[in-house]
């Protein structure tokens, strides 16, 4: 069993449509793939149909933007019921924060002599339901300002760079409540990757376990081998499931091929057994 629990389509900041995500997952000999677009479930229906057509299981998921103090934390939520009261409203509020910050980002770029218009970013986003910095990166690439998304982040968009603008996201504990309250299971994405490494201490993770967190995404390309081992050990110590996923974004992110990181089948079973509706 090959299980990849983290992948993005062009409904958020991936480059391929949900159907193509599922087709490529089947071609990569995955048995199960999760679609986890940022702050939207708009890709689920297409992915579910593709799952039937290509004969693999698709787990409906989301990567919820959260904060802990000033730090950004990503939370994977699986099998939520998006029709539960408050869920659609909260997701819409987060997506509004994503678009609302765009003028400030463009103004910051302009102050540094980089001319980029809203129209150029919207063209790069190409109808995505959830607008992200990668779309700004793609617009910068298309306009010839940078070579690739990595350079766009390193020079302009990453935390601490000139065009980084904070946006609304709920606190991590609220995020856990949202996901579990909607019948899903919550897993911290790449806990010790770039943006959340300093805040997601073992003590904080222990408190989140008490708040209903189900797992830690230990196996992720942002973690080196020693970090993966340490996170898997911590998960076990805290009674959490250690998961893995590629964080595939199509051609948008190198080194994150579908199936490049996997979730152990027993861990997947454990995770599904923690669904509020299970057992
Ligand atoms: P946002 O959702 O607007 O906060 O942008 C964060 C997204 O940008 C992440 O989910 C990644 O997909 C992407 N990202 C972050 N850092 C990089 C990087 N160095 N290179 C390429 N993509 C990145
Ligand atoms: Fe992303
Ligand atoms: Fe993420
Ligand atoms: Zn992701």
Residue 249 CA, ligand 2 centroid: distance in Å: 7
Q: Which ligand is nearest to the CA of 131?
A: 1
Q: For each successive 10 residues of the chain (279 residues), what is the average pLDDT?
A: 98 97 97 98 98 98 96 97 97 98 98 98 97 98 96 96 97 98 98 93 98 98 96 98 97 84 98 87
Q: Given this model, what pLDDT does residue 279 score?
A: 56
Pocket test for ligand 1, best of 13, 155, 220 (most atoms within 8 A of CB): 13
Q: Decide whether any atom of ligand 1 lies within 6 Å of the 149 Cβ.
A: yes
**SS3 assignment, position 5:** coil
Task: Kindly state if the Cβ of 150 falls inside 6 Å of ligand 1.
Answer: yes
pLDDT in tens, 169-225: 999 999 999 999 999 999 999 999 988 999 999 999 999 999 999 999 999 999 999
Ligand 1: distance of its center to the CA of 29 in Å?
27
Q: Which atom of ligand 1 approaches the CA of 154 most closely?
A: 19
- Give the N- to C-terminal CA distance of the chain in Å, as an integer: 22
Assess whether the C-beta atom of 167 lies below 6 angstroms from ligand 1.
no
Tell me, in angstroms, the distance from the centre of ligand 3 to residue 68's CA.
15
pTM, to two decimals: 0.97
């Amino acid at each position: 069993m090959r299980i990849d629990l983290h992948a993005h389509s062009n409904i958020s900041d991936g480059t391929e449509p949900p159907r193509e995500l599922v087709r490529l997952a089947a071609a990569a000999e995955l048995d199960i793939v999760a679609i986890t677009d940022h702050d939207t479930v708009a890709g689920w229906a297409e992915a579910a149909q593709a799952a039937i057509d290509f004969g693999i299981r698709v787990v409906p998921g989301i990567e919820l933007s959260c904060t802990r103090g000033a730090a950004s934390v990503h939370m994977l939520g699986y099998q939520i019921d998006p029709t539960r009261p408050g869920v659609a409203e909260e997701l819409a509020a987060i997506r509004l924060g994503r678009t609302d910050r765009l003028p400030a980002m463009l103004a910051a770029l302009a102050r540094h002599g980089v001319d980029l218009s809203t129209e150029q970013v919207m063209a790069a986003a190409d109808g995505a339901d959830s607008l992200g910095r990668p779309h700004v990166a793609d617009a910068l690439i298309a306009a010839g300002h940078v070579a690739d998304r990595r350079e766009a982040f390193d020079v302009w968009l990453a935390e601490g760079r000139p065009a980084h603008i904070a946006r609304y996201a709920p606190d991590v504990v609220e995020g856990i409540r949202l996901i579990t309250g909607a019948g899903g299971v919550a897993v911290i994405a790449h806990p010790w990757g770039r943006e959340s490494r300093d805040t997601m201490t073992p003590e904080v993770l222990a408190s989140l376990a008490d708040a209903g967190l189900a797992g830690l995404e230990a196996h992720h390309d942002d973690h080196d081998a020693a970090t993966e081992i340490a996170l898997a050990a911590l998960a076990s110590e805290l009674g959490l499931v250690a998961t893995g996923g590629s964080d595939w974004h199509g051609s948008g992110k190198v080194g994150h091929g579908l199936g490049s990181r996997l979730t152990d089948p027993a861990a997947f079973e454990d995770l599904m057994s923690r669904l509020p509706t299970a057992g």
